Amino acid sequence: MFGLIFKSMKKIILAGLTALTMGCASPQITKAASWQAENPSRESFPHRGIEIEGLGWRTAKVIQALDLIYDRDPQNWLAVEKNIKKIRYNPPSGMLVYTGIFYTNANDSEDYRWVGGEIVHDAWHREYYLREEVYSGREGEKKCLERQNEFFSRIGYPLLNIEKLLETRYWETQNRWW
């Protein structure tokens, strides 16, 4: 434990020295660096059987979202539990269908219910991939958006206008389902 604390403090000290050598009046300690110093061993941890990777202030929404899915939507929880092995903060959001790693861009401004919808949506991308069904493109998106709306209806969250979203063809510029 002492070694982990020392390693995190070393990062903060080096950041300060770098700032001083670059002429900064005072080093800027980021929220992430201070969190690492206080919680050096919690960079990756399991929650409800899913590995969560990231800093505490980034993962809080993910934890709330997983708990919501688990508590309020058992059917979609089965898809999440089966298909998402790890959730990692790394924008933009997307799903590695081959490995079960979901990248999230969940941040302080997003509602945890929305994050839950993204998790459900991307769990279904992998489910369809594993079933050898269409999991990407317009048809794949439509199926996953329907699952997302199914979740939203169970928790009383505003539903997505699926047809309007499909018109934007967002998956062509934001495709992360490798």
Same domain, yes or no: 99 and 134 = yes
**Each residue's pLDDT tens digit, 62-95:** 999 999 999 999 999 999 999 999 999 887 788 9
End-to-end Cα spacing for the chain: 37
Asked if 140 contacts 123 with a C-beta cutoff of 8 angstroms, the reply is no
Q: Look at the chain and report how many structural domains it folds into.
A: 2
pLDDT at 59: 85
One domain for residues 158 and 128: yes
CATH number reported for the structural domain that contains residue 70 in this entry = 3.30.2010
Read off the pTM.
0.74
Strand 50-53 vs strand 86-89: parallel, antiparallel, or unpaired? parallel
* SS3 call for 80: helix
Task: Give the model's pLDDT for residue 86.
Answer: 96
According to DSSP, residue 133 is labeled S
C-alpha–C-alpha distance, residues 30 and 43, integer Å: 16
Q: Provide the pLDDT for residue 108.
A: 64
